Structure 1
Amino acid sequence: MVTEAGMERDGPINGYRKRSAGGARWFRRIAGLLLFVLLAPYLLILLYRIELIRPVSTPMLADLVMLRGYDRQWVEFEDISPHLVRSVMMSEDGQFCAHDGIDWAQMKLVVDDALAGETTRGASTIPMQTAKNLFLWSGRSFVRKALELPLAMASDFVWSKERMMEIYLNIAEWGPGIYGIEAAARHHFNVSASELGPKQSALLAVALPNPLERVASKPGNGMRRLANVVERRARQSGAYVTCLYGDGGR
């Protein structure tokens, strides 16, 4: 026999309350998961400060998931040719030693161009590219850029400039499945990262923005011209690389 109390317990009001409680639990779980996803990169930034840890990038993880595999041989910063470091800096981020992860002057120019309806130029610094490669995804997106900026600033604050450059050069892509400067140097020029000369270094630096189409070991005329400019800038980069090779480093 069904009592009035039983009807009240199982009635529409209590059923609504149960559904509401279940919906609230799912909302809390989803919110907690999103919060964890947003905070996890910052915890990893702290973890990656430890030099014994060798991070992998999201493209490398994607290659593993797709069962393609990849070639990456970690190399310490001290074992990377200074020619390569200087070439990459002068090609990708000339103010690397001076900014806090973001080149605000270049960023302002990009914003001004966008507001004026003009074609925007690239303003990604090495910390921004490192944050994107480690924690985010490729492609143009305001959401990705909004996530990328604080991650770049946090990593630049936590890591030394030397550690930042070491991680960047060990996760950068230089061809299909070719990650890091050691694998790139051996793949393209059959030498170790420490043996790279000025011309080889400039070609590798020029290939970085589009490594799937720009092949360092098979450069066209346009790529050679860009490499000559980078090589010249690298020779004159003494004042720009003090955080890595001078007394001004952290």
Structure 2
Amino acid sequence: MATLLLRFLLKAALAFLAVSVLWVGVYRFVPPPVTFTMLGDVIGGHGITKDWMSLSEMDPDMARAAIAGEDSRFCAHHGFDFRAIGNAALRNAKGGRIRGGSTISQQTAKNAFLFQGGGYVRKAFEAYFTVLIEALWPKRRIMEVYLNIAETGIGTYGANAGSIRYFHHDASRLSASEAGRIAAVLPLPKKRAAISPTGFVRRHGNTLSRRVATVRDQGLDACLR
């Protein structure tokens, strides 16, 4: 009985490995048609709006704003920024607003292949898929997928759809200010809006807008050029 169970578990593990590698390999070239988060919106009664735009078409300030706000060492790490994780843990231990240390690669893995929540089990799968996309995708592809499937408002997915929703033009013509506002929404898209932002979103969006030039001038987006 134990031998049969071990064989089953081994076959299941090998099947999962094969399917996951194939899945990630396909998304290297094909835009993800839907994600579990999108399906959750549909089940919850919300429509979804998305409009894929390649990174080469998108204004580069959008990626720079995302790097400034979410992952300043995106081009330097291989999926995990242990320095940021450690700093986040120290800040959280002191109390106040909880901050995460997830990289853009980790967020892309979660958004493309997994669901929100799920605790440590989901985090373990997130780490696995992060390793896979870092191994099989170039950094440009990771950023491209991230900026096209990240939620930018309730039922709105991707920077391009967000730009059309908030600013009435596509993401090829984003200003640094507009890119900063969209990036400021990314951590809590269901509670923030990029149009007429107030409080933290306004302050953070303005900060990210100023940091766009720093990202460009310091070459923090070098892996995307």
| Same fold per superposition (TM over 0.5) | yes
> What is the alpha-carbon distance in structure 2 between the residues aligned to residue 212 and residue 66 of structure 1?
13
| Contact 1:101 1:128 survives alignment (8 Å) | yes
Matched with 1:243 is: 223
* Aligned residue type for 1:128: Q
| Contact 1:69 1:177 survives alignment (8 Å) | yes
Q: CA deviation at 1:164?
A: 0.8
Is 1:54 matched with 2:34? Answer: no
> What is the alpha-carbon distance in structure 1 between the residues aligned to residue 152 and residue 169 of structure 2?
15
Q: Between Structure 1 and Structure 2, how many residues are aligned?
A: 220
> What is the alpha-carbon distance in structure 2 between the residues aligned to residue 135 and residue 157 of structure 1?
16
Is 1:234 matched with 2:212? Answer: yes
1:96-107 map, 5 Å = 96-107=74-85
Comparing 35-44 with 225-234, greater Cα deviation is found at 35-44
Is 1:123 matched with 2:101? Answer: yes
* Aligned residue type for 1:166: E
Question: What RMSD in Å do the two structures reach over aligned CA positions?
Answer: 2.6
Matched with 1:12 is: none
| Distance change in 2, residues 1:150/1:30 (3 Å) | closer
| Contact 1:110 1:122 survives alignment (8 Å) | yes
Gaps of 5+ in 1: 1-19, 246-250
3-state DSSP of counterpart to 1:169: helix
Quick one: which of 97, 110, 117 aligns to 1:139? 117
Q: CA deviation at 1:196?
A: 0.9
Matched with 1:183 is: 161
3-state DSSP of counterpart to 1:185: helix
Gaps of 5+ in 2: none
Q: CA deviation at 1:138?
A: 1.3
> What is the alpha-carbon distance in structure 1 between the residues aligned to residue 206 and residue 86 of structure 2?
29
Matched with 1:192 is: 170
> What is the alpha-carbon distance in structure 2 between the residues aligned to residue 65 and residue 38 of structure 1?
29
Q: CA deviation at 1:113?
A: 6.9
**What fraction of aligned residue pairs are identical, expressed as a percent?**
34
> What is the alpha-carbon distance in structure 2 between the residues aligned to residue 79 and residue 192 of structure 1?
10
* Aligned residue type for 1:44: W
> What is the alpha-carbon distance in structure 1 between the residues aligned to residue 189 and residue 183 of structure 2?
10
| Contact 1:41 1:135 survives alignment (8 Å) | no
| Contact 1:79 1:194 survives alignment (8 Å) | yes
> What is the alpha-carbon distance in structure 2 between the residues aligned to residue 68 and residue 232 of structure 1?
34
Matched with 1:168 is: 146
> What is the alpha-carbon distance in structure 1 between the residues aligned to residue 74 and residue 138 of structure 2?
12
> What is the alpha-carbon distance in structure 2 between the residues aligned to residue 222 and residue 111 of structure 1?
22
